[in-house]
Amino acid sequence: MDKARHLRNYDLHSWSGVSLGIFLFIVCFTGSVAVFALNETHVWEDPAKRISYEQEAAFNDTFDAWVAEQDELGEIEFLSVSWPQPGSPYYVARADVHLEGTEHDHKFITQNWHPETLEPISTRDASMSRWLVRFHIDLKWPAMRGGSQVGRCIVGLAGILLLLAILTGIVAHTKLTKETFTLRFDRSVRLKWQDSHKVVGLWAAPFHVMIGFTGAVLGIVTLLAPVVAVLAFQGDLEALFATVQGPQIEAANVAAQMISIDEVRNMVHTETGVQPNYVFAQHNGDENDVYQG
């Protein structure tokens, strides 16, 4: 029985690895690129991002003028500002504007400025690095087939199968201590590959477990949310999100002067001494405006 169980675990480990090997390689490869996509790769792809500067110019007046332009389009749901930093050495402002009476009721607007001259900068929205990041997250799954939600679920299921391959591999290899340190380079080519496979797999197993687990959770969270809502909130998704996100501050509908963006930039965290690199603002121009950075 022990031998038969061992063979079943070995077969399950082998088939799960063979069937998902190429797919997992693609996901891991695009994930490796995604690590560098926000900084090094984006700058390499787009000459507009190769900016050198001595110091940052005061940005508040330029930002206020831009916000006023967006306010004429409709109600601003939220604003964000990113200060110059590696990978994006310029000011970046984003706005989610609610457009009433249009086919697409929300419009996301982004604008970049030179850190010294405050001249508007045009950067590339589409690039190979961005494509690889999206492919890693959701396989660029077609919208007509369910879009990113389906793609993320597929990637999440792959993470679960990776965990299964790791678990069955650990159970199948009964001599873990010996196999972890065995590399017979003086034997046949088959044994060299077999030993290399075992050593690399065993030494890297903790990292692979972390990658598989986090990928699985992030990928299938869209499936788990309705299940949790049914079990805990009688199917009320809004109640679930309200519980997770906590109480939301509503607008007071009372106009108030906002804190200068330049002042926010110079703020220092009392415990860490770190200055903010970005800030999100809700209810802009309202007494209950909320800044998060």
Whether residue 196 lies inside any domain: the answer is no
Maximum CA extent, the chain: 80
Map tokens 């419009």 to a residue.
Answer: 107
> Does residue 62 have a pLDDT over 90?
yes
Once rounded to an integer, what is the mean pLDDT over residues 226-232? Answer: 69
Average pLDDT, the chain: 80
Tell me the pTM. Answer: 0.69
Task: Tell me if 282 is assigned to some domain.
Answer: yes
Residue 287 lies in a domain: yes
Asked if 91 contacts 81 with a C-beta cutoff of 8 angstroms, the reply is yes
pLDDT band at 244 (very low <50, low <70, confident <90, very high): low
The CB-side HSE value for 73 (13 A sphere, CA atoms) comes to 19
- Going by C-alpha positions, the residue among 118, 74, 70 that lies closest to residue 92 is 118
* Residue range 120-173, pLDDT digits in tens: 988 776 677 778 888 888 888 887 877 888 888 888 888 888 888 888 777 777
Count up the domains in the chain and report the number: 1
Residue 260 lies in a domain: yes
Structural domain span for residue 82: 49-122+253-293
| Residue 238 amino acid letter | E
pLDDT at 60: 93
pLDDT digits (tens, 9 = 90+) for 260-279: 889 988 888 888 888 888 88
User: Rounded mean pLDDT of 46-57?
Assistant: 83
Query: What is the predicted pLDDT for the residue at 64?
Result: 92
Q: Using an 8 Å Cβ cutoff, are 250 and 288 in contact?
A: yes
Bridge partners of 96? 78, 108
